[in-house]
Structure 1
Amino acid sequence: MRWLLPLLALLLAACATPSAVGPVAAGRFVEVERIAAEGLPDQRLTIWLPPDYDAGQRRYPVLYMHDGHNLFDPAKSNFGKVWAADRAMLAAMETGRVEPHIIVGIWAPGPDRYRQYLPQFAAIRATGGIAASIADNSNGGPVVSARYLAWIADELKPLIDREYRTRPGPGDTAIAGSSMGGIMSCYAIVERPDIFGRAACISSHWPVALPDEAEADRAQVLGIWRDWLGDRLGPPDGRRIWMDHGTATLDRYYAPYQRAVDRSFVAAGWTEGRDFRSEVYEGAEHEENAWAARLPEIFDWLLAD
């Protein structure tokens, strides 16, 4: 029963409401159904503890992932399909190149997902049709991604580090997500290199709004990313970032944006293949099965020692 102690401490510290907690064939899940976070919609977590966590005193690196409801259990996911992040981690561990990681899945807050994941600077700098689309997608609410990032970095992470046996340094702390979660992950590692040393930006929705392919809108968005990365990215300093996209459904719009982002990384002194990777998956769609198919490859490169 000792596994209840970290959970109870987590719940008390975060004013959270627990749900089912139990063992699985490989590893263990902890569900935290409600965490009150000032300035944000209520948050929810699904935490995966790797095999043998309860059997010893080893300390573990941690991977924070957005859209936590879509990571593990199809019954809890939006679309009946998941990333299978636990199985991808087990596969990466079997290679011997990746240590076991604790995975902290942060659920998206339903209709507030867009305004929580859209990087704050994009909302501030956007004008015209892009600004109007941002306002429409935010359902009239304010963009709160700066607060969300501060909550993860300064409140949630210290809580996880206190209640679980983690290795808390940036080199042992990763963040990952897809689509809007992809650009949120890029935002996190660029703005908080003191916290995050690795990031996976998967099928990142660089267009920010719905990509209608209007040249003026594309030019504006490309300029927003170029200027922000030019100001804030800096040299890698040990950081490692994975970026990718497919070529079907929504992903088919991403190539020109991704190429521009790649150029900004190179201009900042990042070396492709060593400090960052930017991959294209022909025929891959913008959906969980496609992300699940390449997640073991992502983990094998991003999280390797």
Structure 2
Amino acid sequence: MNLARKETFEGRGILIYLPPSYAKGENRYPVLYVHDGGYLFEDCANWLQHLIAIGSIPEVVYVGVETDNRNEEYTPWPAKALVEGRPDFGGKSPEYIAFLADRLKPHIDSRYRTLQSPEHTGIVGASFGGLVSLHAAYLRPDVFGAVGSLSGSYWYDGYLDYMREQPQPPRVRKLFMSVGDCEGIYKDNIQKWMVPNTIKARDLLLEQGLPAQSLKFVIDAGATHDSVFFIKQLPEAIRWFF
């Protein structure tokens, strides 16, 4: 993979990787928007390039989007902090999702050779990044047709209730969800429900009519809530999406 550049868009850092063949022709490529600055692909770039070389994953344009405050931007509505003395959660993901869909995506599409339809546009993140990715599926399925929720924070206050209240599941083409079976086992707050709440979220989606062939669900044996396991799931999500 070739690092195209580190850009700034509307005051926010954007990290862009272009696939190996990008400079060699006029092909257009799917795009994957990645939360938390794109560490999910940046920290395993050599591995992804190897997987491309052996034909294990397709070539994709990756767009890493930085945030100054993930507790503000990746949460769907305000909620109290889990730890006394920490800032409360800000609940500004609708604004963040609108930024991605209505301003950043048109900018990327105007500068790079992208496939622009929802089926070729993915969004992925881990932890709160996984939560905001699913929320983007609810709010903007017209833009994001491939959604990756890696260890999504479905313990978040009221989120399962929000899902239950929806008349139908997100109208996305592909949804990838994963969780480690050891996540939350050392917690004594609501985060201890990481695994059962993720399973409940999956079951709700299927009960509401999400086609089984649109969902891939992975329980990663022995995995804790750590970036090494989030990154491990990224190629699986890419294969599923594209």
Q: Distance in 2 between matches of 1:192 and 1:137?
A: 34
Structure 2 residues not aligned, in runs of 5+? 186-191
> What is the aligned partner in structure 2 of residue 116 from structure 1?
73
SS of alignment partner, residue 254 of structure 1: helix
Choose the corresponding residue for 2:23, options 22, 30, 54. Answer: 54
Greater mean alpha carbon deviation, residues 170-179 or residues 227-236: 227-236
Structure 2 residue identity aligned to 1:117: Y
Question: How far did 1:236 drift?
Answer: 5.9
Greater C-alpha radius of gyration: 1
Q: Distance in 1 between matches of 2:106 and 2:52?
A: 26
- Conserved 8 A contact 1:190-1:233: no
More displaced 10-residue stretch of structure 1: 58-67 or 250-259: 250-259
Partner of 2:148: 200
Aligned CA distance change for structure 1 residues 86 and 240 (closer, same or farther; 3 Å): farther
Corresponding residue SS for 1:45: strand
AA partner of residue 176 (structure 2)? W
Aligned residues between the structures: 236
Post-superposition offset of 1:90: 5.0
Tell me how far apart the structure 2 counterparts of residues 164 and 264 of structure 1 sit (CA, whole Å). 37
2:144 counterpart of 1:158:
no
Deviation at 1:140, TM superposition (A): 5.8
Unpaired stretches in structure 1, ≥5 consecutive residues = 1-25, 37-41, 74-81, 124-130, 209-220
1:58 is paired with a residue whose SS is coil
TM-score of the pair, normalised by structure 2: 0.86
Task: Give the superposed CA RMSD.
Answer: 2.6
Alignment of 1:20-31 (within 5 A): 26-31=1-6
CA 1:287–1:57 in 2, change beyond 3 Å: closer, same or farther?
same
TM-aligned CA distance change 1:183 to 1:233, over 3 Å: farther
Q: Report if the CA contact (8 A) 2:40-2:234 is conserved.
A: no
TM-score, with length taken from structure 1: 0.69
**Higher fraction of helix:** 1
Contact (CA 8 Å) 1:180, 1:205: kept in 2 or not? yes
Cross-structure match for 2:173: 239
Q: Is this contact kept in 2: 1:200–1:243, CA < 8 A?
A: yes
Specify the code of the residue in structure 2 equivalent to 1:293.
Answer: K
Residues in 1 aligned to 2:139 and 2:84: alpha-carbon distance in whole angstroms: 26
Q: Which amino acid aligns with 2:105?
A: K
Q: Which residue of 1 aligns with 2:63?
A: 104
Letter in 2 for 1:260: K
Structure 1 counterpart of 2:47: 87
Q: Which amino acid aligns with 1:170?
A: P
User: Counterpart of 1:215?
Assistant: none
Residue 81 of structure 2 aligns to a residue in which SS?
helix
Residue 298 (structure 1) aligns with? 237
